[in-house]
Amino acid sequence: MSDVTAERRLELIRNIREENQKNRMSMKNREHILYGKEYETAPMRDTGEMPAAPAHGSSLILRIIIAAVLLSLFIIMDYLQADWLPVDMETINDSLKENYTVNIIDFMDKSRIL
C-alpha cells in the first residue's frame, strides 16, 4: 500500500504533536501579552474535558435588574402623572424624545467643502 513504515508514522505523529504544543505555547504567550492573563489548557489535555468556568461576577444581570426597575418607575410615574422633585413626566418624555446626535463636521469651514 504505502512505503511509509510504522517508525516513520510514529515520528510524523510525534513531530505534529510537538508542533501543536509549540503553537499552543506561542498562542498562550500572545494572549498573555494582549490580555495580561494566562489561560489554563492543562486540565483539558489531561482529562479530555473542558475545565469549569471561573466563578466571577458578571454585571450584566445587575444592569438588567437596574434597567427593569427604572423602566418600572418610569411607567408607574407616567400612569400616576406623578412629579418627582421639580421634574414632571412631560419634561422627562421631551428629553427622551430629543435627538442627541452629534454633528461631527460643525468645526469645518463650509466654504472649503463646496
Q: pTM of the predicted model, to two decimals? A: 0.35
4-40 confidence digits (pLDDT tens): 788 899 999 999 999 999 999 999 888 888 887 655 5
For the chain, domain boundaries: 6-47, 60-107
110 pLDDT exceeds 70? no
**26-62 core/surface letters (b: 16 or more CB in 10 A; e: else):** eeeeeeeeeeeeeeeeeeeeeeeeeeeeeeeeeeeee
79-90 confidence digits (pLDDT tens): 887 766 677 777
Q: SS3 of 84, please? A: strand
